[in-house]
A and B are shown apart, each in its own frame.
Chain A
Amino acid sequence: MTTPDPMAEIRASFFIECEELLEALQDGLSMIDDGATDDETVNVCFRAVHSIKGGAGAFGLDELVRFAHRYETVLDEVRGGRLAPEHDALLLFMRAADVLSDIVRNCRDGIVTDPDAVEPTLRELEALTGAEEEEEEVCDFQPMTLSLDIGIPDTVESDPTYEIIFRPEPELFQSGNEPLFLLSALKEIGSVETECDLSNIPDLSELDPEGACLGWKIRLTTDRGQSEIEEVFEFVEGLCTLKVSESNTAPAAGLVAIPGLPPLEESPIDDAENETVPDQRTQSTDTPVDISPRLTLGLPDAPSASSEADASKTEDDNSAGLSTSEKASTPAPTPPKPAKPPVQATATKATVRVDLERIERLVNLVGELVINQAMLSQSVTQAGIPANSPVAQGLEEFMQLTRDIQDSVMMIRAQPVKSMFQRMARIVRESSASLDKRVRLVTVGDTTEVDRTVIERLADPLTHMIRNAVDHGLEETSKRVANGKQEEGCITLSAAHRSGRVIIEVSDDGAGINREKVRTIAEEKGLVPIGQQLTDAEIDALLFLPGFSTAKTVSNLSGRGVGMDVVRKSIQDLGGRVNITSTPGKGTCFSISLPLTLAVLDGMVVEAAEETLVVPLGSIVETLKVRHDDMRAMGPNTQVLQIRDSFVPLMDLGVELGFREPREDYNGSVVLLISLEDGTRSAIIVDTIQEQRQVVIKGLQDSYGHIPGIAAATILGDGQVALILDPVDLMKNATGKTRSTLSQLELAG
């Protein structure tokens, strides 16, 4: 367990947890926004902020603690029903969640958060609850105890007292937990009396500095239920001995007297003093508590109070008999008030955090395995081993297993797009606020899983598309109202799996693309010849041209020098395609189609001029053989191929890649029909098709930079390196800027 710096690791895992908590917070807020009014949803939000605050305190992240504390206070007001989460308040909560996540990230990266980014939100939060004293966090350990007149106990609303016996195991420290935080958390939910059990402290020479020899006995008076107390210890389950039981008897004698504190047995305890009055917060509870069952409570504890000498032993016996999994099993004798409805524990699946590097290594190894398996099967074939031999059959099973392993490994890297969608929700909030538009983001298919590298690299282009949708896609509010639309614009962000790819769509219910305007601008900028016939799809595609911007004034949102051309480039780099559909008056939809992973690819292995190449299967529509009659000359150097009732441009792969000169006769050649981004098709001539198989992608970008027409490389079964084609890029480079000017093509003639 010894690592160079365990604290750094613990700190890192705190920030990872923060991300999860922030996600839960966002989820909760969206649910409230969608009309969820149940206490649990508010509780989830509260707990998320609370946990962040707790952890931040432990690491001394004061700015984070300060903000989280204020935020938590407001959420507590909501939780207590004293503050209604109105629309405006909810927007503030969402903004506060954004600020909170900024502070978390800044703390993680060691950046000091700009007060200007925090203070306004902080002040707004304060305005909701009224002024609050700055020094709320004073560690006021001593519970306030009041002597009550024994004659009037039934008029006092009092909360039950729980006795908690808590004894950490060494693993608790090693996993980065610290009892002090737990004790502090207990103090937050009620009034505590803590006794530290020093009986197991050995001589220093015998002490294992990483062992555990302290224990605690805590008497907690709180209005929370037992389950909520146990929740405090949720993260140390299995790492400590824990016993929570309800008790209203005097603190059992027998724990070792602590120097400096008066021994317990010396303090005269009578029934009246036993009524620990909780602090003001818990006192203000308006749930009347029936205290009568307390009269029966002495019994279960009676043995432990029998004698001073036996007591600590009894406690040990109790704890020894309690396996950690049984910790909750100690029944609370007749709870004095009905327990809160059980927490709606959404069945969380057990997860384990794994270093990304290890996964990358595994992915690489599996890649090697796939290559190795391919080599093995090639050797088996070459050795002339018959297909029905045990070797060949075993190999068949081995191939299947390899494929399964590969799929499983890819699944490890897959992540739901939800975290990215949540980031987009923030972009919508911020950009709509700065443009003074009311915009609602609807997300669909949050749970769709995509390779995390794809998600990471998609964030920037998607951010830009969302900003564009808010800025250009949606009309001004006044215009919307005039057109009979809802004042609030709606942007829908959806993700779905479709035939081995993931489709992400950004659509708005705005005015749609003003094609006339787009065309005029393109003509003004010389992007298209004036007066050229253009279809709607061609006009829409102009948006992706470098240097195109329709915004009359460069707003601070879009127009940051990042155009849609860059967006399209980033998506293409991911092996993706982006399409636009737009209906005037109804809105625009940008649809991105992406591969599920960047690590493997289903490809068709082909040969051109004695070179082996791989064409991504996803781009191939069909394969066919060329007959001489189907070819038509088009200009001096180019030809088109007739496929049924249409003509498609034709290119020779070997010529395009500079492997050889055009052939005299293409009769009988194999043609791959490739589908282009805008739905049009092109035909690529290859010499032969070898096979269709899954290949492991080995990037070339790092070593060679971008090679036109080539996406990456792979290693084939015979150990040979084969280039993986980027057909779209290949066609684009071959056809020049406008596809229709085929004369630029150096094609077979």
Chain B
Amino acid sequence: MSAELALPARLDLPAAKPLAEDIIALRGKDIRVVASDVTHLGTPGLQVLLAAVRSWEADGKTLSFSDPSDSLTEQLALCGLSPEALSTSTQEV
């Protein structure tokens, strides 16, 4: 059973802390992070997501990042990242 977490539209500084708390609450589970609503990527939010990937990998759990919009993919590209960077490498799709 994997849990699902829908990301808010803006992943900026005010959103970072609540996001981190939401994700930590799901620790130990496989989760699917749904990014379809995200319109604005901010570095603080990005850091949380990357840290989550690192933690989930360390736990041997799966975190899959799904449905990024084109605009989000572009914003990730600006950061030198692809959407795959936000999923654990052990994920089963």
Chain A residues proximal to chain B, CB less than 8 Å: 5-7, 58, 60, 139, 141-142, 168, 173-174, 178-180, 183-184, 187, 193-196, 198, 201-205, 207, 209-214, 216, 218, 258-261
Chain B residues proximal to chain A, CB less than 8 Å: 10, 12-14, 16-17, 19-20, 23-24, 27, 39-44, 46-48, 50-52, 54-55, 58, 71, 74-75, 77-85, 87, 89
Partner of B13, one of A173, A194, A195, A196: A173
- Once A180-B42, A180-B78, A259-B89 are accepted as A-B contacts, the answer to whether A214 and B50 lie under 8 Å apart by CB is yes
Contact A6 B55 (CB under 8 A): no
Contact B14 A6 (CB under 8 A): yes
List the A side residues contacting B14 at CB < 8 Å.
Answer: 5-7
- Once A173-B44, A209-B16 are accepted as A-B contacts, the answer to whether A180 and B54 lie under 8 Å apart by CB is no
Of all chain B residues, the one with the shortest Cβ separation from A170 is B44
- Once A60-B40, A139-B74, A259-B84 are accepted as A-B contacts, the answer to whether A178 and B12 lie under 8 Å apart by CB is yes
- Once A187-B78, A209-B19 are accepted as A-B contacts, the answer to whether A214 and B52 lie under 8 Å apart by CB is no
* Complex-state Cα separation, A340 to B74, whole angstroms: 32
Additional A-B contacts beyond A210-B13, A260-B82 (15; CB < 8 A)? A7-B10, A7-B14, A60-B39, A139-B75, A173-B42, A201-B47, A201-B54, A202-B51, A207-B20, A209-B48, A210-B16, A210-B44, A214-B79, A258-B80, A259-B82
Of all chain B residues, the one with the shortest Cβ separation from A137 is B74
* Complex-state Cα separation, A184 to B79, whole angstroms: 9
Contact A204 B40 (CB under 8 A): no
List the A side residues contacting B39 at CB < 8 Å.
Answer: 60
* Complex-state Cα separation, A637 to B78, whole angstroms: 86
The SS class assigned to the B binding surface is helix
Query: Chain B nearest CB: distance from A221 CB in Å?
Result: 15
* Complex-state Cα separation, A168 to B17, whole angstroms: 18
Contact A178 B43 (CB under 8 A): yes
Query: Chain A nearest CB: distance from B93 CB in Å?
Result: 13
List the A side residues contacting B12 at CB < 8 Å.
Answer: 7, 178
Contact A194 B43 (CB under 8 A): no
Q: Can you show 10 pairs from A to B with CB atoms below 8 A apart?
A: A183-B78, A187-B78, A195-B80, A196-B85, A209-B17, A214-B79, A216-B80, A259-B82, A260-B81, A261-B80
List the A side residues contacting B51 at CB < 8 Å.
Answer: 201-204, 207, 213
Query: Chain A nearest CB: distance from B35 CB in Å?
Result: 15
- Once A168-B43, A202-B51, A205-B55 are accepted as A-B contacts, the answer to whether A6 and B13 lie under 8 Å apart by CB is yes
Contact A214 B58 (CB under 8 A): no
Of all chain B residues, the one with the shortest Cβ separation from A142 is B77
List the B side residues contacting A139 at CB < 8 Å.
Answer: 71, 74-75, 77-78
Query: Chain B nearest CB: distance from A281 CB in Å?
Result: 18
* Complex-state Cα separation, A132 to B59, whole angstroms: 52
* Complex-state Cα separation, A174 to B17, whole angstroms: 13
Of all chain A residues, the one with the shortest Cβ separation from B21 is A209
List the B side residues contacting A204 at CB < 8 Å.
Answer: 20, 23-24, 27, 48, 51-52, 54-55
Contact A196 B19 (CB under 8 A): no
Which of A205, A207, A218 has the largest number of chain B CB atoms within 10 A? A207
Of all chain A residues, the one with the shortest Cβ separation from B77 is A141
Contact B74 A179 (CB under 8 A): no
Partner of A207, one of B47, B80, B81, B84: B47
- Once A203-B55, A207-B47, A213-B47 are accepted as A-B contacts, the answer to whether A180 and B16 lie under 8 Å apart by CB is no
Contact A259 B47 (CB under 8 A): no
* Complex-state Cα separation, A196 to B76, whole angstroms: 10
Query: Chain A nearest CB: distance from B20 CB in Å?
Result: 4
* Complex-state Cα separation, A60 to B38, whole angstroms: 13
